[in-house]
Structure 1
C-alpha cells in the first residue's frame, strides 16, 4: 500500500464553500423536521422515514461543520469525537436513504400494509441506527478513528491512516455501504418506476376521455422524474468521495486537486439540502404550506396603516336604495374566483 500523501490544506475559499454547504444542509434538514412537526396531516409513513434521515443528515452536517472549521492538523480528542459523530451520522444516512427506497418498493410493488409495515419500520430502526452505532463504537474502541491528513476527507477526521488495516475500516465505516447504495438505489427506484408505468398504462385503458388520460400521464411524468432524480442526486453528490478514496488507495497526487476537494466537501455535506429541495420545495403540498406560512408571517410583521389627520374613515352614506356606496369587494377577497 503506498504511503499517505502530505496533509491537504484547505484554502479560505474552499473552506467557505464547504462551510456554506454544511449550513444549507443543516437548514434543509431542520426545515424537513419542522414540516413534520407542524403539519400532522403530512405525516405519511414515507415522510416518517424522511424525518429520521433528516435527523441523521442534521447531525452529519453539524459534525462536518466543526471539522471543516477546525481543519485538524493532527490527532486530538475533539478530532476523535468529531470523527465518531460524522461516521455514525453519515453511515446512518446511507441506511435511511436505502430504507426509504426499500419501503417505497415494498409498499408500491409488493403492497406491504398494516402489521407488516409496522414490523418493517422496527427493522429499519434496528438496522439504520444499530449497525452504524455498533461499527462506530468498535472503531473508537479499537482506536481506528483519528487524523487522516484530509486525503479521504475535507478537513474533518475519519479513519486514522496510520492504522495497518485502515482500508478495511474505511470500507466498514462508510465506503462499503456507499458503494452498495450506488447499486441498490437505482435498482429499487427503477423497479418502482416500471411498476408505476405499467399500472398507469393498464388504468389508461379504462379512461373514457382523452383529457383524463392526459391528466393521468401528467401526474405520472412528475412522479417518474422524481423517482429518477432521487438516486441520480445521491450518486452525483457521493461519487466524489469515492473517487478520492480510490485515488488514495492508488497513491495518486490527484487526490489533492482543489476541484475534487471542493466537490467532495459539497457532496458529503449537502445531502440534507438536496433532500429538502426534493421532498419539501419540489413537493406541492409542502411548498403550499410553506408559502402560506411565509405570507402569514409577512402580514403579521407589517405595521398597521397610519391614520390621516382628518381622523379615522367613516362609513359611506347610504343612497336612496339604502345601500352603501363603498366598494363592492372586500380587500381580503380576490377580484375573481
Structure 2
C-alpha cells in the first residue's frame, strides 16, 4: 500500500476528481427531482416535456458513468496504482465506464439539439402541423440512442475505450481532452512527441472527434443558432406594450430571457474540453509539451473547470426546470408535502393570487384566450407550460471529456 494517500492543495488531478464526484452527486439529485416531477405532476406529461425526460435519462447515465470513472481514477491516483498504465490492456471497469459515459453524453447532445430544433420550429413555423420526427417518435430514439450506440460499439471493437495513460506514466506530457475519467485509450506512443512516425495518432484523433468533440462543436452551432433566431422572432413582442394581462407579458419576457441564457450557459459549461483539446493538439504538434505554464493552464486549471462543467448538466437542469419555475416548484412542494416556502410562495399558497398575480388556472385560461390575439406569441407562450422546460434543459450537453 502506498504511504501517501492524501490529496494536497497542489494536486490538481485529485482536486478535479473530487470536484467531479461532488458535481455528479448533485446531478444525480437533480435528475431525481426531475423524475419525481414527471411522476407526481400529470400536467407535466406532455409530448414535448417527454423529450426533456429522455434528456434527463441520458444526463443521469452521464453522471453515473463519470462518478464511477472519477472514483476509480482517484483511487488509482491516491494509491499510486501503476497497473494498466502501460496501455498493454484496459481495465474492465474503465472500459465499462467509458462505454456508458460516451454513449450517454452523445445521446444528451443529440436530445439537446433536437429540443432546440423543436422550439425553433414551433416558434418560427407556427401552424404547419407536426413534422416527420413528431409523427414518428421511434425515429427520435433511433437518432438519439442508436447513432451513439453504433459509434461506441465501433470504438469498443477497435479497443479504443479506456484510460488516457500519458500523464499516468509521469512524463509530464499533456493529455488530449480527457477529464479525470476514462474515455479514449491513449498512450505516449500514440502521440507525435519527438517522433513524427506515430501511426496510431490519426485513429486516436478520429475517435476523440466522433465520440465527443464533433458533437460539442455541432451543439455550439445548432443550439445558439436556433435560440438566437427564435429570440429575434419574439423580441418585438417582448418590447411591445400591447398586452391585456401581466401574465402574457411575463411569459414573453421569460421566454426571451431563456433564449439568451441557454446558449450562454451551454458555452460556459462545455467550453473547457474544447479549449483543452485544441490547446493540447497545438502543444503536441509544435513540440512544446515541456512548456510548464501552458501545461498547468490546459491540464490542471482547465481540467478542474472541465470536471465541473461536464458533470453539471443534471443539476443545472433541475435548478432551471424545477427550482426557478414557480408553478413547478410550488406544485412539487405540495406533492412532496413540503410546506416550508417563504416569502411570495408562502403568501401565494396561503391567500391565493394578489393584485397583479395569477393563479395557475387563471393564468392558463388567459393565455388560451389571448393567444389568438397575439399569434406571434402562441409558441413562446405555450413554452411557459410546455416548451419552457425544453429551453431550460438544453443547457447541458457533454462529452465524456
Which residue among 20, 28, 31 is the counterpart of 2:30? 28
Which residue among 120, 138, 153 is the counterpart of 1:122? 138
Contact 2:66–2:311 (CA under 8 A) maintained in structure 1: yes
Query: Is 1:83 matched with 2:83?
Result: no
Which residue among 273, 277, 285 is the counterpart of 1:245? 277
What CA distance in whole angstroms lies between the structure 2 residues aligned with 1:36 and 1:147?
Answer: 36
Report the alpha carbon displacement of residue 215 of structure 1 after superposing the two structures with TM: 5.4
Deviates more, 1:64-73 or 1:229-238: 64-73
Query: Is 1:279 matched with 2:291?
Result: no
Instruction: Show CA shifts across 1:271-322 (max 9, x none).
Output: 111111111112222111123235x2569xxxxxxxxxxxxxxxxxxxxxxx
Give the TM-score normalised by the residue count of structure 2: 0.66
Instruction: Show CA shifts across 1:145-195 (max 9, x none).
Output: 112137322321111224511111110001001101111111000111122
What CA distance in whole angstroms lies between the structure 2 residues aligned with 1:177 and 1:131?
Answer: 12
Quick one: structure 1 residues 335 and 21, their matched pair in 2 at CA, closer, same or farther if it must change by over 3 Å? Answer: closer
* Structure 2 residue aligned with 1:97: 112
Instruction: Show CA shifts across 1:47-75 (max 9, x none).
Output: 11110110000001011001110115633
After superposition, residues 177-192 of structure 1 pair within 5 angstroms as 177-192=215-230
* Structure 2 residue aligned with 1:232: 264
Report the 3-state secondary structure (helix = DSSP H, G, I; strand = E; otherwise coil) of the residue aligned with 1:269: coil
Report the alpha carbon displacement of residue 221 of structure 1 after superposing the two structures with TM: 1.6
Report the alpha carbon displacement of residue 116 of structure 1 after superposing the two structures with TM: 4.5
Report the alpha carbon displacement of residue 257 of structure 1 after superposing the two structures with TM: 4.2
Deviates more, 1:30-39 or 1:212-221: 212-221
* Structure 2 residue aligned with 1:147: 163
Larger Rg: 1
What CA distance in whole angstroms lies between the structure 1 residues aligned with 2:352 and 2:34?
Answer: 35
Taking only aligned residues, the RMSD between alpha carbons, in angstroms, comes to 2.8
Report the 3-state secondary structure (helix = DSSP H, G, I; strand = E; otherwise coil) of the residue aligned with 2:253: helix
Instruction: Show CA shifts across 1:71-124 (max 9, x none).
Output: 156331111111111100111111011111011112222235357463253332
Which residue among 148, 160, 165 is the counterpart of 2:185? 160
What CA distance in whole angstroms lies between the structure 1 residues aligned with 2:326 and 2:136?
Answer: 28
What CA distance in whole angstroms lies between the structure 2 residues aligned with 1:84 and 1:113?
Answer: 38
* Structure 2 residue aligned with 1:43: 45
Quick one: structure 1 residues 176 and 115, their matched pair in 2 at CA, closer, same or farther if it must change by over 3 Å? Answer: closer
Query: Is 1:263 matched with 2:305?
Result: yes
* Structure 2 residue aligned with 1:306: none
Task: List 4+ stretches of structure 1 deviating above 6 A.
Answer: none
* Structure 2 residue aligned with 1:173: 211
- Greater RCO structure (CA 8 Å; 6+ sep): 2
Task: State the aligned residue count.
Answer: 291
Q: Unaligned stretches of 5+ in structure 1?
A: 1-7, 300-331
Quick one: structure 1 residues 334 and 192, their matched pair in 2 at CA, closer, same or farther if it must change by over 3 Å? Answer: closer
Contact 1:21–1:269 (CA under 8 A) maintained in structure 2: yes
Q: Unaligned stretches of 5+ in structure 2?
A: 1-9, 77-81, 168-174, 191-199, 284-288, 290-294, 341-348, 355-401
Contact 2:41–2:332 (CA under 8 A) maintained in structure 1: no
What CA distance in whole angstroms lies between the structure 2 residues aligned with 1:117 and 1:107?
Answer: 13
Which residue among 250, 256, 259 is the counterpart of 1:218? 250
Quick one: structure 1 residues 68 and 10, their matched pair in 2 at CA, closer, same or farther if it must change by over 3 Å? Answer: farther
Report the alpha carbon displacement of residue 41 of structure 1 after superposing the two structures with TM: 1.2
